[in-house]
Amino acid sequence: MLLQREADFISLHVAQHERVLHYVLRRVGDLEVARELTADVFRIAWQKSEDDPTTEVAWLFGVARNVIGNEYRGRRRRRELILKLVEGVRAAAEPAGGDVEAAVAETLGKLRPGHREILMLHFWDKLSTAEMAAALRCTENSVGVRLHRAKSAFAAAMPEQLKAGHTEKAGEHFHGQD
Protein backbone atom coordinates (compact mmCIF):
# COMPACT_ATOMS: atom_id res chain seq x y z
CA MET A 1 0.00 0.00 0.00
CA LEU A 2 1.26 3.41 -0.88
CA LEU A 3 1.96 6.12 1.57
CA GLN A 4 -0.42 9.05 1.44
CA ARG A 5 2.46 11.24 0.40
CA GLU A 6 3.08 9.14 -2.68
CA ALA A 7 -0.57 9.04 -3.62
CA ASP A 8 -0.78 12.79 -3.25
CA PHE A 9 2.27 13.30 -5.39
CA ILE A 10 1.00 11.11 -8.19
CA SER A 11 -2.28 12.97 -8.06
CA LEU A 12 -0.43 16.25 -8.31
CA HIS A 13 1.57 15.00 -11.25
CA VAL A 14 -1.48 13.73 -13.12
CA ALA A 15 -3.31 17.00 -12.57
CA GLN A 16 -0.56 19.49 -13.27
CA HIS A 17 2.15 17.94 -15.40
CA GLU A 18 0.79 19.25 -18.68
CA ARG A 19 0.28 22.76 -17.37
CA VAL A 20 3.79 22.94 -16.00
CA LEU A 21 5.25 21.47 -19.19
CA HIS A 22 3.46 24.07 -21.28
CA TYR A 23 4.57 26.82 -18.91
CA VAL A 24 8.19 25.78 -19.33
CA LEU A 25 7.86 25.17 -23.06
CA ARG A 26 6.51 28.68 -23.62
CA ARG A 27 9.65 30.03 -22.02
CA VAL A 28 12.39 27.81 -23.34
CA GLY A 29 11.00 26.99 -26.78
CA ASP A 30 12.53 23.52 -26.90
CA LEU A 31 10.44 20.47 -26.09
CA GLU A 32 13.30 18.30 -24.92
CA VAL A 33 14.65 20.98 -22.64
CA ALA A 34 11.14 21.66 -21.43
CA ARG A 35 10.65 18.00 -20.60
CA GLU A 36 13.86 17.89 -18.63
CA LEU A 37 13.15 21.06 -16.73
CA THR A 38 9.58 19.97 -16.01
CA ALA A 39 10.96 16.73 -14.64
CA ASP A 40 13.18 18.81 -12.39
CA VAL A 41 10.18 20.76 -11.16
CA PHE A 42 8.35 17.60 -10.13
CA ARG A 43 11.46 16.06 -8.63
CA ILE A 44 11.75 19.14 -6.44
CA ALA A 45 8.04 18.89 -5.63
CA TRP A 46 8.56 15.26 -4.61
CA GLN A 47 11.49 16.11 -2.39
CA LYS A 48 9.60 18.97 -0.88
CA SER A 49 6.46 16.89 -0.29
CA GLU A 50 8.17 15.08 2.56
CA ASP A 51 7.91 18.15 4.75
CA ASP A 52 5.26 20.33 3.16
CA PRO A 53 3.01 18.75 0.55
CA THR A 54 1.39 21.07 -1.92
CA THR A 55 -1.21 20.80 -4.63
CA GLU A 56 -0.90 24.36 -5.81
CA VAL A 57 -0.03 24.88 -9.44
CA ALA A 58 1.16 28.36 -8.52
CA TRP A 59 3.85 26.86 -6.33
CA LEU A 60 4.92 24.57 -9.15
CA PHE A 61 5.11 27.55 -11.50
CA GLY A 62 7.27 29.35 -8.98
CA VAL A 63 9.64 26.40 -8.87
CA ALA A 64 9.58 26.21 -12.65
CA ARG A 65 10.50 29.85 -12.93
CA ASN A 66 13.55 29.30 -10.77
CA VAL A 67 14.51 26.09 -12.52
CA ILE A 68 14.44 27.97 -15.82
CA GLY A 69 16.45 30.75 -14.20
CA ASN A 70 19.04 28.21 -13.11
CA GLU A 71 19.22 26.76 -16.59
CA TYR A 72 19.58 30.12 -18.26
CA ARG A 73 21.88 32.06 -16.02
CA GLY A 74 23.72 35.01 -17.47
CA ARG A 75 22.70 37.77 -19.85
CA ARG A 76 23.68 35.92 -23.01
CA ARG A 77 21.75 32.84 -22.02
CA ARG A 78 18.72 34.91 -21.11
CA ARG A 79 18.95 36.60 -24.50
CA GLU A 80 18.82 33.14 -26.04
CA LEU A 81 15.51 32.63 -24.28
CA ILE A 82 14.08 35.80 -25.81
CA LEU A 83 15.16 34.68 -29.26
CA LYS A 84 13.65 31.27 -28.68
CA LEU A 85 10.46 32.93 -27.55
CA VAL A 86 10.25 34.82 -30.82
CA GLU A 87 11.11 31.73 -32.86
CA GLY A 88 8.61 29.63 -30.96
CA VAL A 89 5.80 32.10 -31.44
CA ARG A 90 6.58 32.50 -35.12
CA ALA A 91 6.69 28.75 -35.62
CA ALA A 92 3.42 28.24 -33.77
CA ALA A 93 1.61 30.94 -35.72
CA GLU A 94 -0.25 30.09 -38.86
CA PRO A 95 1.77 30.76 -42.01
CA ALA A 96 0.10 34.05 -42.90
CA GLY A 97 0.12 35.39 -39.39
CA GLY A 98 3.67 34.79 -38.22
CA ASP A 99 4.84 38.37 -38.52
CA VAL A 100 2.31 39.83 -36.13
CA GLU A 101 2.80 37.09 -33.57
CA ALA A 102 6.56 37.41 -33.86
CA ALA A 103 6.26 41.16 -33.38
CA VAL A 104 4.24 40.52 -30.24
CA ALA A 105 6.95 38.19 -28.99
CA GLU A 106 9.67 40.71 -29.87
CA THR A 107 7.78 43.37 -27.96
CA LEU A 108 7.52 41.05 -25.00
CA GLY A 109 11.25 40.55 -25.24
CA LYS A 110 11.83 44.27 -24.84
CA LEU A 111 9.90 44.47 -21.59
CA ARG A 112 11.27 44.18 -18.11
CA PRO A 113 11.25 40.54 -16.96
CA GLY A 114 8.55 41.22 -14.39
CA HIS A 115 6.24 42.76 -16.96
CA ARG A 116 6.88 40.00 -19.45
CA GLU A 117 6.26 37.28 -16.90
CA ILE A 118 2.92 38.56 -15.65
CA LEU A 119 1.64 39.04 -19.20
CA MET A 120 2.64 35.50 -20.08
CA LEU A 121 1.12 34.11 -16.88
CA HIS A 122 -2.15 35.87 -17.61
CA PHE A 123 -2.53 35.57 -21.39
CA TRP A 124 -0.65 32.38 -22.15
CA ASP A 125 -0.63 30.27 -19.00
CA LYS A 126 -4.18 31.36 -18.10
CA LEU A 127 -3.52 31.58 -14.41
CA SER A 128 -6.28 33.02 -12.29
CA THR A 129 -5.63 36.17 -10.30
CA ALA A 130 -5.27 34.12 -7.14
CA GLU A 131 -2.82 31.75 -8.83
CA MET A 132 -0.74 34.61 -10.17
CA ALA A 133 -0.69 36.19 -6.73
CA ALA A 134 0.55 32.93 -5.26
CA ALA A 135 3.13 32.39 -8.00
CA LEU A 136 4.45 35.93 -7.70
CA ARG A 137 4.06 36.03 -3.92
CA CYS A 138 2.01 39.20 -3.84
CA THR A 139 -1.59 40.16 -3.21
CA GLU A 140 -4.34 39.83 -5.76
CA ASN A 141 -4.60 43.59 -5.81
CA SER A 142 -0.94 43.85 -6.64
CA VAL A 143 -1.46 41.41 -9.48
CA GLY A 144 -4.08 43.72 -10.91
CA VAL A 145 -1.80 46.68 -10.61
CA ARG A 146 1.20 44.86 -12.07
CA LEU A 147 -0.86 43.54 -14.95
CA HIS A 148 -2.11 47.00 -15.71
CA ARG A 149 1.41 48.38 -15.67
CA ALA A 150 2.68 45.54 -17.82
CA LYS A 151 -0.02 46.14 -20.41
CA SER A 152 0.84 49.83 -20.41
CA ALA A 153 4.50 48.97 -20.91
CA PHE A 154 3.58 46.61 -23.72
CA ALA A 155 1.45 49.27 -25.38
CA ALA A 156 4.29 51.75 -25.17
CA ALA A 157 6.84 49.31 -26.58
CA MET A 158 4.86 47.77 -29.42
CA PRO A 159 5.61 48.85 -32.97
CA GLU A 160 3.21 50.79 -35.16
CA GLN A 161 2.33 47.71 -37.16
CA LEU A 162 0.67 46.23 -34.08
CA LYS A 163 -1.20 49.33 -33.10
CA ALA A 164 -3.63 49.25 -35.98
CA GLY A 165 -5.11 46.71 -38.31
CA HIS A 166 -4.77 42.96 -38.29
CA THR A 167 -7.83 42.75 -36.11
CA GLU A 168 -9.46 40.07 -38.18
CA LYS A 169 -6.36 37.95 -38.26
CA ALA A 170 -5.78 38.34 -34.56
CA GLY A 171 -9.38 37.38 -33.99
CA GLU A 172 -8.90 34.23 -36.00
CA HIS A 173 -6.21 33.13 -33.61
CA PHE A 174 -8.23 33.79 -30.54
CA HIS A 175 -9.07 30.22 -29.79
CA GLY A 176 -6.08 29.36 -27.72
CA GLN A 177 -7.42 28.63 -24.27
CA ASP A 178 -5.50 26.40 -21.94
Q: Does 119 sit near other proteins (CB under 8 A)? A: yes
Residues of span 57-96 touching other proteins by CB under 8 A: 62-63, 65-67, 69-70, 85, 88-89, 91-93
Q: Is 151 in the site for other proteins (CB under 8 A)?
A: yes
Residue 140 near residue 133, CB atoms below 8 Å: yes
DSSP label at residue 51: T
124 Cβ contact list (under 8 Å, min separation 6): 26, 178
Burial level of 70, CB count in 10 A (0-12/13-18/19+)?
A: exposed
From the list 57, 72, 105, 127, which residue makes contact with other proteins (rule: CB under 8 A)? 105
Among 78, 79, 83, 145, indicate the residue that binds other proteins (CB under 8 A): 145
- Round to whole Å and give the CA distance between 61 and 65: 6
- Residue 17 or residue 110: which is nearer to other proteins going by CB? 17
Q: How far apart are CA 178 and CA 123, in angstroms?
A: 10
Which amino acid belongs to residue 142?
A: S
Helices marked H in 1-139? 4-28, 31-49, 57-71, 75-92, 98-110, 113-119, 129-136
Among 40, 72, 115, 117, the residue binding other proteins under the rule CB under 8 A is 40
**Residue 113 near other proteins by CB under 8 A:** no
**Nearest distance, CB of residue 110 and other proteins, angstroms:** 14
The footprint of other proteins on residues 7-36 (CB under 8 A) is 7-11, 13-15, 17-18, 21-22, 25-26, 29, 31, 35-36
Q: Which of 39, 53, 81, 109 binds other proteins (CB under 8 A)?
A: 39
Smaller CB distance to other proteins: residue 55 or 80?
Answer: 55
What's the farthest any 2 CA atoms get from each other in the chain?
Answer: 62
**In whole angstroms, how close is the CB of 76 to other proteins at the nearest point?**
19
